[in-house]
Amino acid sequence: MTAKYAKGKNGITLFVLLTALTLWLKFLFSEQPPMIFSWPVVIKLVMVAVALGLAYAAWNVGILHGNVSLLAAASYFTPVLSSALAAVLLSASLSWSFWQGAGMVCAGSLLCWYATRR
């Protein structure tokens, strides 16, 4: 459906800019604690912004020009990868039940993809 409405054009840039503008306006017109910036914070902020921008761009290119069924199946791996990365960054451990659940979700996703690819 996205590919049909987009007509081959990538609208993610406008979407991200309007979302950012809306959130900054909400921030400016509501009472918030002061933001404190330091170099480590700015570096992490830039890294996250680049990662999100690339992720949105890759997702939209995949939706417009790729195999949507495969993309939908692969999207189930994203929470598993982000949880694993967060656990590493926060020096936290993930329980065995987490990995069992993640494995079942990913296996179910692959099974659904396999069943619908014919």
pLDDT digits (tens, 9 = 90+) for 72-112: 777 878 888 888 889 998 999 989 998 899 889 888 888 88
Q: What is the pTM of this model?
A: 0.58
Q: Label residue 2 by pLDDT band (50, 70, 90).
A: low
Contact 80, 106 (CB under 8 A): yes
pLDDT of res. 6: 66
Helices and strands (H, E) in the chain, number of each type: 6, 0
- Segment 17-73, tens digit of pLDDT: 899 999 999 999 999 888 888 999 999 999 999 998 888 888 888 888 888 877 877
Cα 5 versus chain centre, distance: 22
Q: Who contacts 11 (Cβ-Cβ below 8 Å, separation ≥6)?
A: 60
